[in-house]
């Protein structure tokens, strides 16, 4: 028995010596290399570290230095200068679940292909780490990250786990190409739902604060979001800039506030923007709201060739209608004002009032082409209950038939300008007049026109202007049918007898002033030349009594 006791004691001593030797050997580079080699051979992981340190002054802490971990053949999931592992009595029952893991001075890559970390912890703490999340739909790159996850239970494709409280700060971060600094995030993860109770960051020389929730279906609920003094430049068009809103099922906004923002992109810009948006959900290219409201003003808003100065917009939203309570802006050295509503089901813009005053506007070179092109399917109808124009200058520089209207005034009632997504004057009445005008280099004074539109035709009840020492008067009609058959009767008294030459009628063998009587018909059908469709007669009498009568057929006068 004594021998057996001595043998057991000897074995225990040997085991103790071996353990002590292993303890010290594992804390050498040789021991670290042996453990790394064993893991690499026995698993699908790539793992290495330089040294392991354990101090009896902190017996529950184990430190690894210069650690690299990942899946073989893939970029490393974790690279860290130091990993401090806090141990507890749980290691006897759950060896891979520790009390605390501290990652210091390294990089953590979050992606669906990243290797799942084999450890779990009551708390994961990051200290001066970098985080990247490529190929996740959220291109995230963050530096100088500090924070923690409680508890930390990583899974394949979910480095932070399925359920945890999170708190992070980052010195700098880029999310989907948008940079930010001094970032703070506090919230929780609950399976596919993410709650961000606190969001804060300095971005684009301004600041962002707020809170939001991401639901399991990918939708977002923004409780409060405030942007102050943002100065953002991007190379994206406004469509591409707003495209992320369409990549999620919906975005519900309880309160969004933008103050003194300046944004600039490809062919668009807005300066000194103040915006308040409440109780609105964006989904499926439209909105959902019971009592939403948008209020916005800016110093300048530019998109393409359109530039608005000091625009002010106030819109109220309900389930089917967006009520434009106010729109005012300086535009083309003048002012435009409107109010009305957008009716979603009918795809109809119904304006109660539209006012133009003091404009100096040159029509786009392709305005005739734009007039004939169908509008997008979402805009089926445009009506204006009351239209007013005051002291406007309108210029067309088309070299084939330029014109200019000076001090143009006018009123119109119950106009329908778009029907079935096509521009036109489909109904309503209007009266327009100007102090002077030029039509293809022919000057006239005090031009005036009154018209009335119905489903069948546009009736020109009065058309007049002073020319030379006399006056022109006309009436006419244009069919609303596809052929756009038109007829006009014009009388001129004491006007230049060759007044019509610049408007398409051949020169007359008369001189000076005289009287004119013109009656013609033609077709204004789209994509059809006008001249070959014109037929009619002209009677002219000069001041010395000479008379000429000509008949035009299909745009030509026989014998001339």
pLDDT tens track for 506-525: 989 898 999 999 999 999 98
pLDDT band at 18; cut points 50, 70, 90: very low
Q: What is the mean pLDDT of residues 137-141?
A: 74
Mention every residue, 6+ apart, whose C-beta is less than 8 A from residue 506: 550, 557, 560
Rounded Cα–Cα distance for residues 433 and 410 (Å): 6
Q: Tens digit of pLDDT for each residue in 409-451?
A: 999 999 999 999 999 999 999 999 999 999 999 999 999 999 9
Residue 9 burial (10 A CB sphere; 0-12, 13-18, 19+): exposed
Rounded Cα–Cα distance for residues 319 and 317 (Å): 7
Structure tokens at 31: 């021991």
Task: Provide the pairing of β-strand 61-71 with 78-86.
Answer: antiparallel
Helix (H, G, I), strand (E, B) or coil at 346: coil
With CA atoms as reference, report the closest residue to 357 among 410, 315, 297. Answer: 410
Q: Which residues pair with 247 in a beta bridge?
A: none
Residue whose structure tokens are 């209007």? 430
Predicted pLDDT of residue 430:
97
Predicted pLDDT of residue 35:
66
> CA angle, 119 as apex, 118 and 121 as ends, to 5°?
155
pLDDT band at 74; cut points 50, 70, 90: confident
Residue 546 burial (10 A CB sphere; 0-12, 13-18, 19+): middle
**For residue 309, which phi and psi values (nearest 5 degrees)?**
-110, 130
Q: What is the mean pLDDT of residues 177-205?
A: 89
Q: What is the DSSP string of 368-404?
A: HHHHHSPPPTT--EEEEEEEEEEEEEEEE--TTS-EE
pLDDT band at 116; cut points 50, 70, 90: low
Predicted pLDDT of residue 14:
43
Q: Tens digit of pLDDT for each residue in 362-385?
A: 999 999 999 999 999 889 999 999
Quick one: which H or E segment has residue 14? Answer: helix 2-26
Structure tokens at 182: 């001094």
Rounded Cα–Cα distance for residues 153 and 545 (Å): 106
Mean of the per-residue pLDDT values of the chain:
87
Structure tokens at 45: 């992981």
Q: Tens digit of pLDDT for each residue in 342-358?
A: 999 899 999 999 999 99
With CA atoms as reference, report the closest residue to 189 among 124, 240, 284. Answer: 124
Predicted pLDDT of residue 8:
52
Residue whose structure tokens are 């489909």? 426
Q: Tens digit of pLDDT for each residue in 394-404?
A: 999 999 899 99
Between the two ends of the chain, the Cα-to-Cα distance in Å is 144
* DSSP one-letter code for 118: S
| % of the chain at pLDDT higher than 90 | 55
Q: Tens digit of pLDDT for each residue in 219-255?
A: 889 999 999 999 988 888 998 888 888 788 899 999 9
Compute and round to an integer the Cα radius of gyration of the chain. Answer: 39
Rounded Cα–Cα distance for residues 302 and 554 (Å): 46
What are the CA-CA distances from residue 157 to residues 117, 199, 263 (Å)?
Answer: 10, 24, 35
**For residue 513, which phi and psi values (nearest 5 degrees)?**
-90, 165
Predicted pLDDT of residue 10:
47
Q: What is the DSSP string of 191-233?
A: TTEEEEEEEEEEETTEEEEEEEEE-TTS-EEEEEEEEES-EEE
Q: What is the mean pLDDT of residues 184-208?
A: 91
Contact 338, 353 (CB under 8 A): yes
> Half-sphere exposure of 239 toward its Cβ, with a 13 Å CA cutoff?
2
Rounded Cα–Cα distance for residues 531 and 481 (Å): 19
Res. 405: pLDDT tops 80: yes
The least confident of 34-48, 83-97, 248-262 is: 34-48
Res. 32: pLDDT tops 60: no
CB atoms inside a 10 Å sphere around CB 186: 17
Q: Tens digit of pLDDT for each residue in 488-500?
A: 999 999 999 999 9
CA 172 to chain centre: 25
With CA atoms as reference, report the closest residue to 283 among 252, 256, 254, 257. Answer: 252
The least confident of 127-141, 321-335, 520-534 is: 127-141
Contact 445, 435 (CB under 8 A): yes
Name the pTM for this structure: 0.82
Rounded Cα–Cα distance for residues 389 and 411 (Å): 6
Rounded Cα–Cα distance for residues 431 and 417 (Å): 15
Rounded Cα–Cα distance for residues 277 and 254 (Å): 8
Contact 311, 298 (CB under 8 A): yes
pLDDT band at 558; cut points 50, 70, 90: confident
């Amino acid at each position: 028995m004594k021998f057996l006791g001595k043998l057991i004691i000897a074995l225990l001593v040997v085991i103790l010596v071996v353990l002590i030797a292993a303890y010290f050997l594992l804390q050498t580079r040789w021991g670290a290399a042996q453990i790394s080699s064993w893991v690499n051979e026995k698993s699908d992981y790539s793992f290495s570290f330089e040294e392991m340190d354990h101090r009896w002054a902190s017996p529950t802490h184990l430190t690894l230095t210069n650690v690299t971990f990942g899946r073989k053949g893939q970029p490393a999931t974790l690279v860290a200068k130091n990993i401090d592992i806090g141990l507890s009595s749980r290691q006897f029952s759950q060896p891979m679940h520790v009390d605390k893991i501290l990652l210091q001075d390294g990089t953590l890559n979050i992606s669906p292909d990243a290797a799942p970390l084999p450890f779990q912890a009551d708390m994961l703490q990051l200290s001066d780490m970098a985080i990247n999340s490529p190929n996740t739909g959220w291109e995230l790159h963050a530096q100088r990250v500090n924070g923690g996850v409680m508890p930390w239970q990583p899974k394949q494709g979910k480095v932070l786990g399925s359920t945890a409280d999170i708190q992070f700060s980052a010195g700098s971060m880029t999310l989907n190409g948008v940079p930010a600094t001094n970032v703070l995030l506090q919230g929780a993860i609950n399976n596919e739902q993410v709650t961000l109770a606190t969001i804060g960051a300095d971005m684009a020389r301004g600041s962002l604060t707020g809170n939001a929730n991401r639901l399991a279906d990918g939708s977002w609920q923004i409780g409060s979001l405030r942007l102050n003094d943002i100065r953002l430049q991007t190379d994206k068009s406004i469509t591409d800039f707003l495209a992320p809103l369409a990549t999620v099922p919906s975005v519900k906004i309880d309160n969004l506030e933008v103050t003194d923002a300046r944004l600039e992109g490809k062919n668009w810009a807005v300066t000194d923007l103040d915006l308040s948006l409440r109780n609105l959900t964006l989904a499926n290219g439209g909105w959902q709201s019971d009592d939403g409201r948008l209020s916005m003003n800016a110093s300048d808003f530019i998109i393409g060739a359109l530039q608005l100065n000091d625009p002010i917009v106030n819109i109220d939203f309900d389930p089917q209608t967006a009520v434009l309570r106010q729109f005012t802006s300086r535009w083309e050295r003048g002012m435009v004002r409107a109010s009305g509503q957008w009716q979603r089901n009918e795809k109809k813009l119904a304006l109660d009032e539209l006012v133009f005053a003091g404009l100096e506007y040159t029509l786009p070179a392709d305005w005739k082409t734009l007039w004939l092109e169908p509008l997008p399917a979402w805009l089926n109808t445009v009506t204006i209950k009351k239209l007013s124009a005051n002291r406007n200058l309108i210029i067309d520089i088309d070299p084939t038939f330029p014109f200019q209207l000076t001090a143009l005034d006018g009123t119109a009632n119950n106009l329908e300008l778009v029907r079935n997504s096509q521009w036109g004057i489909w109904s309503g009445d209007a009266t327009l007049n100007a102090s002077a005008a030029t039509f293809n280099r022919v000057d006239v004074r005090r031009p005036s026109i009154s018209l009335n539109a119905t489903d069948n035709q546009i009736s020109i009840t009065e058309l007049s202007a002073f020319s030379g020492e006399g006056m022109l008067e006309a009436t006419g009609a244009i069919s609303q049918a596809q052929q756009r058959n038109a007829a006009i009767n014009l009388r001129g008294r004491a006007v230049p007898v060759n007044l019509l030459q610049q408007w398409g009628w051949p020169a007359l063998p008369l001189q000076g002033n005289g009287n004119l009587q013109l009656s013609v018909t033609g077709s204004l059908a789209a994509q059809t030349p006008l001249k070959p469709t014109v037929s009619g007669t002209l009677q002219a009498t000069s001041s010395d009594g000479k008379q000429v009568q000509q008949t035009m057929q299909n745009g030509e006068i026989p014998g001339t």
